[in-house]
Amino acid sequence: MSERSRVLIAIGGGIAAYKVCEVISTLFKSGVEVRGILTDQAQQFITPLTIATLSRHPAYTDQDFWQPSHTRPLHIELGEWADLIIIAPLTANSLGKLAQGLADNLLTNTILASACPVLLAPAMNTEMWEQVSVQRNWGLLLQDQRYHSLEPDAGLLACDRVGKGRMAEPNEIITAVHSLLFTQGKRDLKGKQILISAGGTQEYLDPVRFMGNPSTGKMGVALAQAALHRGATVTLVHAPLNIPLPKNCRTVPVTTAAQMQAAMLEYCTDADWIVMAAAVADVKPAHTASEKLPKQDIPSHLPLTPVPDIIAQLAQQKRSQQQLIGFAAQTGDFVKPALEKLTRKKLDVIAANPIDQENAGFGSDENYAVFLAAGGRREQVPPCSKLEMAHRLYDFILHGVGINAESL
């Protein structure tokens, strides 16, 4: 992400305001410069001192807004300063004002005085959220391409009602923030259908033992999140995962390579891009027991049999307008075998990953890669978050960003 990105967090009046503390703290620790605005109602739930302490910058209120200024008006300064504005929680009151282009406080004036993307995280009682007038305002506001939404979750609300209205969790907000800071709000994958595989498949010897690998699926999930944030329609075929799945996409859980093969072949027809980020097994036990094997009955030499080569089958069925993207997790000289795989499997693009380097292997939150294209293009991506890696891969496919024209 860009150095010292500037994020303005506008906090509305709702109990979910406490969640903003984690958002501010996490963004600050990641190197983002953060400032905060609190409405009068927000101060009933959280104090300006809390926001100022976490952001290391004075928090702004309507009292500051209405004070005479010896420089430029505060809402103009803040609106021009921000690379991104978050409104969390977004109340029904602020939603209605923004939908109609009204401005009577610091929050709403700052929004109208800015041109940067705005991330909306509504929170309210279920009955309030489902009101026809609120949904009309929500739909009207989202017609403006500046606004990006994190719809409320369902669950137990502070009013003891169980239903939709919970503000998105901090980790979801933070992920969306980093995406928007990278893309500057562009939706350049809108209209594209992207099929992604994630995680490590498992091949069972018996009901409790399996052959597998350390893949956590973090890269595949990041690819899905980045595509969704850029406007794509996403299908995520995933092996067993212990991380949250993205919202607003079709998720297809599988366990074995054969199940992943069936799912990928089922959904590949409608896909514009197919991204095979899963770590699929190469072999499986030749025989699977229906009951747990006693320890003494486990064979000392386990007969193995190959599993389907999913990406090779996808390449055989690929239409001319489709893009097929693979990953190659390697040790040592990781570029050469990836380039061979690119040619052998007839891929359009491959991402070569050195899994024996620090912060680049299975389970890491970061990644390092060299992107290789069938036409001879390449881009070396320095260590970065897997979300940023996903965005850089999409940029490479779309625009050839960072292409090195040297022959491979």
Per-residue b/e over 302-327, b at no fewer than 16 CB within 10 Å?
A: eeeeebbebbeebbeebeeebbbbbb
Whether 165 contacts 152, CB under 8 Å: yes
Choice among 21, 159, 249, 384 that is catalytic: 159
User: Is the residue at 408 inside a domain?
Assistant: no
Residues 73, 151 within the same domain: yes
33-47, 66-80, 392-406: range with lowest mean pLDDT: 392-406
What b-and-e string marks burial along 84-100, b requiring 16 or more CB atoms within 10 Å of the CB?
bbbbbbbbbebbbbbbe
List Cβ neighbours of 382 (8 Å cut-off, separation of 6 or more).
368
pLDDT for 406: 35
Q: State the average pLDDT over residues 350-366.
A: 84
Task: Give the pLDDT of residue 357.
Answer: 79
User: In this structure, are residues 222 and 390 in contact, taking their beta carbons and an 8 Å threshold?
Assistant: yes
pLDDT of 307 over the 80 cut: yes
- Same domain for 147 and 198, yes or no, is no
Q: pLDDT of 32-68, one tens digit each?
A: 999 999 999 999 999 999 999 999 999 999 999 988 8
Give the C-alpha separation, 254 to 305, whole Å: 20
* Domain endpoint, select from 183, 217, 234: 183
- Residues 270, 370, single domain; the answer is yes
CB neighbours of 243 closer than 8 A, spacing ≥ 6? 216, 217, 218, 221
Shared-domain flag, residues 168 and 260: no
Do residue 229 and residue 107 come from a single domain?
Answer: no
Write down the residue that tokens 């004075």 correspond to. 58
Q: For position 408, what pLDDT does the model report?
A: 29
Whether 260 is covered by a domain: the verdict is yes
Q: Is 73 a domain residue?
A: yes
Q: What is the mean pLDDT of residues 85-102?
A: 97
Spatial distance between the Cα atoms of 223 and 195, rounded to a whole number of angstroms: 10
Residues 248/224, Cβ–Cβ less than 8 Å: no
> Residue 70: what pLDDT?
64
Overall average pLDDT of the 114-128 stretch: 97
Range of the domain at 245: 193-399
Q: How confident is the model at residue 400 (pLDDT cuts 50, 70, 90)?
A: low
> How far apart are the C-alpha atoms of 196 and 265, rounded to whole Å?
12
Q: Of 15-29, 90-104, 320-334, where does mean pLDDT reach its minimum?
A: 320-334
Strand 349-354 and strand 366-373: the pairing is: antiparallel
Residues pairing with 250 in the sheet: 235
My answer on whether 177 and 207 are in the same domain is no
pLDDT in tens, 327-353: 998 888 889 999 999 999 999 999 999
* Tokens standing for residue 119: 């991330």
CATH of the domain at 352: 3.40.50.10300
Q: Per this entry, what is the length of the chain?
A: 408
167 and 198 both lie in a single domain? no
Please write the tens of the pLDDT for every residue from 39-49: 999 999 999 99
Pick from 354, 346, 344, 355: nearest CA to 325: 346
User: In this structure, are 173 and 282 located in the same domain?
Assistant: no
Whole-angstrom CA distances from 170 to 75, 86, 279, 398 are 26, 12, 29, 30
At 203-245, the pLDDT tens digits run 999 999 999 999 999 999 999 999 999 999 999 999 999 999 9
Q: Which of 132, 151, 183 is the last residue of a domain?
A: 183
Determine how β-strand 118-122 pairs with β-strand 84-90. Answer: parallel
- The whole-number pLDDT of residue 404 equals 40
Residue ranges with strand state E in 180-254: 193-198, 203-206, 209-211, 233-238, 250-253
- Amino acid at the residue 220: G
DSSP string, 291-337: SPPPGGGS-SS--EEEPP-HHHHHHHH--TT-EEEEEEEESSS-HHH
Cα separation, 352 vs 325, in Å, equals 11
Q: In a 3-state reduction of DSSP, which class is residue 165?
A: strand
Are 249 and 317 in the same domain?
yes
Confidence of residue 120 (pLDDT cuts 50, 70, 90): very high
Quote the mean pLDDT of the chain. 93
pLDDT at 349: 96
More confident residue, 157 or 305: 305
CB atoms within 10 A of CB 394: 25
In a domain, 215, yes or no: yes
**Tokens, residue 356:** 């024996």
Residues 126 and 165 in one domain: yes
CATH number assigned to the domain comprising residue 52: 3.40.50.1950
Mean pLDDT score, 97-106: 97
Residue 48 falls inside a structural domain: yes
- Indicate whether 404 belongs to any domain: no
Question: Does some domain include residue 55?
Answer: yes
Number of domains observed in the structure of the chain: 2
pLDDT band at 3 (very low <50, low <70, confident <90, very high): low
**Is residue 393 one of the residues assigned to a domain?**
yes
Shared-domain flag, residues 136 and 202: no
- What percentage of the chain exceeds 90 in pLDDT? 85
- The pLDDT, as a whole number, for residue 332 is 86
Same domain, 366 and 312: yes
Domain boundary among 164, 183, 202: 183
Q: What is the mean pLDDT of residues 366-378?
A: 92
Whether residue 159 lies in the annotated active site: yes
